[in-house]
Protein backbone atom coordinates (compact mmCIF):
# COMPACT_ATOMS: atom_id res chain seq x y z
CA UNK A 1 0.00 0.00 0.00
CA UNK A 2 1.35 3.41 -0.86
CA UNK A 3 2.47 5.38 2.14
CA UNK A 4 2.94 9.11 1.94
CA UNK A 5 3.53 12.03 4.25
CA UNK A 6 0.39 14.13 4.20
CA UNK A 7 1.05 17.51 2.61
CA UNK A 8 -2.07 19.02 4.08
CA UNK A 9 -4.77 18.17 6.57
CA UNK A 10 -7.20 15.57 5.33
CA UNK A 11 -9.89 13.15 6.40
CA UNK A 12 -9.36 9.44 6.89
CA UNK A 13 -11.47 7.60 4.32
CA UNK A 14 -12.24 4.81 6.76
CA UNK A 15 -12.78 6.23 10.25
CA UNK A 16 -13.51 9.81 9.27
CA UNK A 17 -10.84 11.10 11.64
CA UNK A 18 -8.31 13.76 10.87
CA UNK A 19 -5.05 13.09 9.08
CA UNK A 20 -2.75 15.96 9.92
CA UNK A 21 -0.18 17.58 7.73
CA UNK A 22 3.21 15.92 8.21
CA UNK A 23 1.77 12.62 9.45
CA UNK A 24 2.19 9.37 7.60
CA UNK A 25 -0.88 8.38 5.70
CA UNK A 26 -1.99 5.73 3.28
CA UNK A 27 -3.05 7.17 -0.03
CA UNK A 28 -4.87 5.54 -2.90
CA UNK A 29 -5.79 7.66 -5.88
CA UNK A 30 -9.24 6.20 -6.18
CA UNK A 31 -10.09 6.25 -2.49
CA UNK A 32 -8.19 9.05 -0.83
CA UNK A 33 -6.34 9.35 2.45
CA UNK A 34 -6.40 7.01 5.39
CA UNK A 35 -4.48 6.53 8.60
CA UNK A 36 -1.57 4.12 8.07
CA UNK A 37 -2.86 1.66 10.68
CA UNK A 38 -4.16 -1.52 9.02
CA UNK A 39 -7.65 -1.00 10.42
CA UNK A 40 -7.91 2.23 8.47
CA UNK A 41 -5.63 1.55 5.49
CA UNK A 42 -7.37 -1.74 4.69
CA UNK A 43 -10.85 -0.85 5.84
CA UNK A 44 -13.76 0.06 3.65
CA UNK A 45 -13.71 3.65 2.42
CA UNK A 46 -16.79 5.29 3.81
CA UNK A 47 -15.77 8.83 4.53
CA UNK A 48 -14.58 10.31 1.32
CA UNK A 49 -15.57 13.91 2.00
CA UNK A 50 -17.65 15.72 -0.52
CA UNK A 51 -16.17 19.18 -0.36
CA UNK A 52 -17.83 20.66 -3.41
CA UNK A 53 -21.37 21.00 -4.47
CA UNK A 54 -22.29 18.83 -7.40
CA UNK A 55 -25.16 17.51 -9.42
CA UNK A 56 -26.25 13.91 -9.35
CA UNK A 57 -26.92 12.09 -12.60
CA UNK A 58 -30.62 12.32 -11.75
CA UNK A 59 -30.36 16.11 -11.74
CA UNK A 60 -30.57 16.63 -7.99
CA UNK A 61 -28.30 19.36 -6.67
CA UNK A 62 -26.05 17.97 -3.92
CA UNK A 63 -24.61 20.54 -1.47
CA UNK A 64 -21.09 20.21 -0.03
CA UNK A 65 -20.82 17.57 2.67
CA UNK A 66 -23.87 15.66 1.42
CA UNK A 67 -24.36 12.83 -0.95
CA UNK A 68 -21.83 10.22 -1.94
CA UNK A 69 -18.76 10.53 -4.11
CA UNK A 70 -18.07 8.01 -6.83
CA UNK A 71 -14.93 7.83 -8.93
CA UNK A 72 -15.57 7.83 -12.63
CA UNK A 73 -13.11 7.54 -15.47
CA UNK A 74 -13.70 9.79 -18.41
CA UNK A 75 -13.07 8.18 -21.72
CA UNK A 76 -11.12 10.08 -24.31
CA UNK A 77 -7.85 11.92 -24.86
CA UNK A 78 -6.77 14.24 -22.08
CA UNK A 79 -9.46 13.04 -19.76
CA UNK A 80 -8.72 11.35 -16.49
CA UNK A 81 -10.47 10.40 -13.36
CA UNK A 82 -12.88 12.64 -11.59
CA UNK A 83 -15.35 12.41 -8.79
CA UNK A 84 -19.03 12.32 -9.50
CA UNK A 85 -21.56 13.07 -6.80
CA UNK A 86 -24.59 10.90 -6.19
CA UNK A 87 -27.47 12.25 -4.18
CA UNK A 88 -28.42 10.30 -1.06
CA UNK A 89 -31.38 8.71 -2.81
CA UNK A 90 -29.38 7.41 -5.78
CA UNK A 91 -26.49 6.30 -3.57
CA UNK A 92 -28.93 4.31 -1.47
CA UNK A 93 -28.08 6.16 1.71
Rule CB under 5 A: is residue 87 a binding residue for Zn ion? yes
By the rule CB under 5 A, 62 interacts with Zn ion: no
Q: Rule CB under 5 A: is residue 12 a binding residue for Zn ion?
A: yes
Nearer Cβ to Zn ion (14/48)? 14
Asked whether position 60 contacts Zn ion by CB under 5 A, the answer is yes
Q: How far is CA 13 from CA 23, 30, 74, in A?
A: 15, 11, 23
Cα–Cα nearest to 55, from 76, 69, 75, 72: 69
Q: Of residues 21-40, which lie at the interface with Zn ion (CB under 5 A)?
A: 35, 40
Q: Which residues in this chain contact Zn ion in the complex, by CB under 5 A?
A: 12, 14-15, 17, 35, 40, 56, 58, 60, 87, 90
Amino acid sequence: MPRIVAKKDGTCRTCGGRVRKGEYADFQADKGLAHPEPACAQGAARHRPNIRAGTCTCGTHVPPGKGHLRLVEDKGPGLGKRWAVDCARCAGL
